[in-house]
Structure 1
Amino acid sequence: MGSDYYETLEINRNAGDADIKHAYRRLALKFHPCSTNKETGSNEKFSQLGEAFDVLSDPRKKATYDKFGEEGLRGGIPLEFGSGGAWSSKYVYHGNPDKTFRQFFGGDNPFADFFANDAPLQFCGLQPGDVKTKDCHIERDLHLSLDDLFHGCTKKIKISRRVMNDDGYTSSIKDKILTIDVKPGWKEGTRVIFPKEGDQGPNSIPADIVFIVRQKSHPLFVRQHNDLLYKVLVTLEMALTGFSVDVETLDGRQICIPINDIVHPAYRKLVTGEGMPESQDPSQRGNLILTFDVQFPEKLSAESKHLIKQALALKY
């Protein structure tokens, strides 16, 4: 016969959620293996409490257990009519009562807030406040234009976070302005870290806030590392006979680039030093690379075809 989870937690079957939590809190502290009370500390009892609470604190597991018992909980039960013969998943306790315990109390030192007979409880050599866990870092996207990343800029971002009051027990929500100095040449994915600017808590170390650079698209340029790609539409005549391209750079200059070569499908024109600044040394810059989209005529007259044939028949 299996365990009676209600009996394990020393409660009746009419117990509500608050009763279940209260019972687990009392018994888990009493039977924790690291308790200084050697008469009650027990690995086996502590594990039974963890499994009982894992089931009874979950409404679905509890409902299944109440109606079908431990056998139905562990073996699965048929789902509602029309589900194609599907059964519910079988319950298996993860086997780590310490994980259940820490999730319930929070932190690596869940005993920090508990006192008995006006004296702090001691578990596994820990005193209240000895151990604090650091919250997982918080990531936020920082959307920047190509112009921002070319010139550099300053961004101010307001955050709201929970801050501990002077009494050390209560907290309140306060706003704070974080300043980000964007350096010329920063790339997509650059991370800016503000240590410990997350929510504060009595038993935790605030999380780091991490901003990740996301580059907005630009109407003229496509960035490729430190190079800038610029697409030019040209006619077949221009591709064969030559032309010049006027480009307005990100720093507001107009440059004229002559194209004297034949523009074939794989042709690219490289203009050195007109790309993005390098983040480590902004005085050094990548290249501007012109790519070409040759627009062919949709149709030609017989006379035009004859003239083109004559022209192409000439020696180059």
Structure 2
Amino acid sequence: MYELSLLCPEERVDVLSDALDALDALSVSVEDADAQTPAEQALFGEPGMPPPKDGWQRSRMVALFAQETAAQEAAVLLAAQDFFEDCQLLGIQTLEDQDWVRLTQSQFAPVEVTSDFWIVPTWHEPPAQARQIIRLDPGLAFGTGTHPTTRMCLRWIAQKGVQEQRVLDYGCGSGILAIGAAKYGATDIDAVDIDEAAVTATELNAVANHVVLRAGLPDKAQGQYQTVLANILATPLRVLAPLLCAHVAAGGSLVLAGILERQADELKAAYAPWILLEVSDTQDGWILMTGVSQAA
């Protein structure tokens, strides 16, 4: 395997991606050339939606080729194109043969939620201190437990308790929050998502974790729940405010995540007509917002 690396401005990313694809690159990735420096740029997008930009102001593009001659020919052909202006060839290097499955698995270790609650990939043994675990492998659906928003939601479930409750996981992704609720005693659980792949992933993950829940599209959510969980992002959470609040039973809890610290006030304002939100946890610039329904 051979890796061709390029440096290009943001406006060249799209055309270079198309050109590399036409030149039979096995894969093309784009990353911030200024990552881990003061000039690093953060790009935030919505899960399941197109990225907000094609690349970074200074983008590093990496294309993989099966043969060295193919990588070399691609470099020569690209350099001759008008659209390669302001771009730079960083080099071609050989990638050693590796067990890619084992390498990928090595990047996903057990994740601590609390001292005795862990998310454990199927190829790992649970830590000795784990009293409660969720078995979850990285997949296509959003939510592997590695992101701070997921861990904060699970931590809330573990610490606050959902014993004997009816629970809704809205925007369930992999189903990890619904599974966590089941592990902590919820007895009537709906997990819904607009993505059918997420519904399928949730069903499979529920079986793997020996828990019972109902997974489906958003119309599966019916009536009111003692706990409503939604780990999405701030923009859809604002839009969904009336719907989510309507699903929270009187005295029930609303738990929202996917929110940056700077977005707290706008979320409070969006939900103020129904539920007063407060920041109940924070991690790595993300916050967990919760509130209790006072509806009669």
| Fold agreement, TM-score > 0.5 | no
With the shorter chain as reference, the TM-score category is under 0.3
Q: Select the structure that is richer in helix.
A: 2
